[in-house]
Amino acid sequence: MTNKPPFKTWEKMTDEMAQFFISTETWTHVIDKLTKLKQGNRLLEDFWLEFITWKELSRYNEIALVGLFKKGVHLALAQKLVEIGQIRNSDLLDEWYEKALSFERSKRKAIEEFGRRRSLENLGDGKKKSVLDVPR
């Protein structure tokens, strides 16, 4: 007689335990938090920490999580990931995060070095030009 483990993987065991111990009300709260989560004024790293906390409890699959991640980060960042980063919905969530982090860090470095684009300034002839707020 052999002693077979009741679960094939650690992940399977934690899933089974979560189903047993986590109430429907708790899952509803987790899903609500995850679907409404936005990066806002936070650094991507801070958004990611909160995202992965809720992610672990949600039991969503990879494709759903990628969709929620895209929806939660700044629109311009999500667009850049698809346009320039050539990342697809079928790519893993960690790949989305790593590429997004790379873009956000590059943007921070550029702002440090060159300043932030403030607004469009009227040239007097009805045309507008970009003005940089250059640190002194």
Domains of the chain: which residue ranges? 10-133
Tens digit of pLDDT for each residue in 60-104? Answer: 999 999 999 999 999 999 999 989 888 888 899 999 999 999 999
Look up the pTM and report it: 0.69
Distance CA(76)–CA(68), nearest Å, equals: 15
Among the ranges 23-32, 61-70, 109-118, which has the highest mean pLDDT value?
61-70
Tokens representing residue 74 in the block: 């700044």
How many residues are listed for the chain in this entry? 136
Report the first-to-last Cα separation within the chain, whole angstroms. 77
Q: Are 21 and 15 in contact, with CB atoms under 8 Å apart?
A: no
